[in-house]
Amino acid sequence: DLVKDEDLDIMQDLGAGNGGTVTKVWNKKRKCIMARKLILVDAKPSVRKQILRELQIMNDCSSPYIVGYYGCFPVDVHVGIVMEYMDATSLDHIYRNTGPVPIDMVGKVAEAVLRGLMYLYDVHRIIHRDIKPSNILANTAGDIKICDFGVSGELINSIANTFVGTSTYMSPERIQGAPYTIKSDVWSLGISLIELAHGRFPFSDSADEALDFDPDPTLSASTQRPTLSNKPGNPRGGARAMSILDLLQHIVNEPAPKLGTSRRDFPSEAVEFVRGCLDKDPSIRQSPQELLKSKWIVDSQVTKDQLKAWTRQVAPSDD
């Protein structure tokens, strides 16, 4: 009953990252749209078999905050993973195309990610390891879900070779060699939330602040565009982005970034929440349980209908 590659007709490219490419596909058998990720795996057959075995854990992952999984299979030099298609795309695409995410919606993103992380950890003892806006997806039913978590140790090892390194959501303790814990995911969440609310990746030269999105409310979302020549949030390109080594050093040595700029204020509960995610000392940093009890999350007034309306507004139009 699991999906096979021959069931799938390619529709369009959805994007590519360090290790993979994602395609929108039509499942001829089940008559529905799905997303297929192809990961280039540089490993011998025994290791590839091991990866496919390890990925089976995803069969047992079922949560409203985790992107659905339909199957995996070898495709020549790749491993194919078929998952639920999320029609409002990833949060990085959303903010790059429509500008900063409204702070109330950022709160709903935070809640969904925390519930997804807690599900993975409490039920499967899995630590996500790669929380960032491109691994947080939304659909026009108003759901927000996480994907691309580290289920297969062998897969992590096999793509590490091709990784060109934007490990920029990495916590200070991870940079210094401490093992992953759920608290490292909390740090990555904090960085991601600032990026969504500001409309740009928080670590870069301070002069960049002037290049922030214009918060002028008379501009419609669709006409708001980043004024930075390199893509905001892309720490790789452009003269103003830090080199990866500078960035890692900065994360370890400088104070953690904060929500809010000199040009824009956010509710104090949101600022407080993000501060709780970004304590540099992981023993003081809040846990997902604690963060879910915080005022910002508990007092949120956003309804499912409002969330749905927002995802419809930011979803790419069909062409």
Question: Can you give the binding site for ligand ATP, defined by CB under 6 A?
Answer: 14-20, 22, 35, 37, 67, 83-86, 89-90, 92-93, 130, 134-135, 137, 147-148
Contact region with Mg ion (CB under 5 A), list: 143-151, 230-238, 245-253, 279-287: 143-151
- Between 111 and 130, CB nearer to ligand ATP: 130
> In angstroms, rounded to a whole number, what is the distance separating the alpha carbons of residues 290 and 54?
31
Least distance from ligand ATP to the Cβ atom of residue 128, Å: 12
Say if residue 49 carries a ligand binding annotation.
no
148 scored as a contact of Mg ion (CB under 5 A): yes
135 scored as a contact of Mg ion (CB under 5 A): yes
Q: Which does 291 bind (CB under 5 to 8 A by kind): ligand ATP, Mg ion, none?
A: none
Cβ contact 109:88 at 8 Å: no
Active site residue 13: no
Among the listed residues 87, 130, 148, 279, the single catalytic one is 130
- Between 148 and 212, CB nearer to ligand ATP: 148
Least distance from ligand ATP to the Cβ atom of residue 133, Å: 8
Least distance from ligand ATP to the Cβ atom of residue 78, Å: 12
Least distance from ligand ATP to the Cβ atom of residue 288, Å: 21
Q: Which does 67 bind (CB under 5 to 8 A by kind): Mg ion, ligand ATP, none?
A: ligand ATP
- Between 39 and 103, CB nearer to Mg ion: 39
Amino acid occupying residue 240: R
- Between 134 and 294, CB nearer to ligand ATP: 134
Q: Which residue is nearest to ligand ATP (CB)?
A: 17
DSSP string, the chain: ----GGGEEEEEEEEE-SSEEEEEEEETTTTEEEEEEEEE----HHHHHHHHHHHGGGGG---TTB--EEEEEEETTEEEEEEE--TT-BHHHHHHHH-SPPHHHHHHHHHHHHHHHHHHHHHH-------SGGGEEE-TTS-EEE------HHHHHHHHTT-----TT--HHHHTTPPP-HHHHHHHHHHHHHHHHHTS-S-S-GGGGGGSPP--TTS-GGG-----SSPTT-SSSSTTSPPHHHHHHHHHHSPPP-S-BTTB---HHHHHHHHHH--SSTTTSPPHHHHHTSHHHHT----HHHHHHHHHHHSPPP-
Q: Which does 145 bind (CB under 5 to 8 A by kind): Mg ion, ligand ATP, none?
A: none
Cβ contact 138:312 at 8 Å: no
- Between 37 and 174, CB nearer to ligand ATP: 37
Least distance from ligand ATP to the Cβ atom of residue 215, Å: 25
> In angstroms, rounded to a whole number, what is the distance separating the alpha carbons of residues 274 and 278?
6
Task: List the binding residues for ATP.
Answer: 37
Q: Which chain residues interact with Mg ion by CB under 5 A? A: 134-135, 148
Task: List the binding residues.
Answer: 37
Active site residues: 130
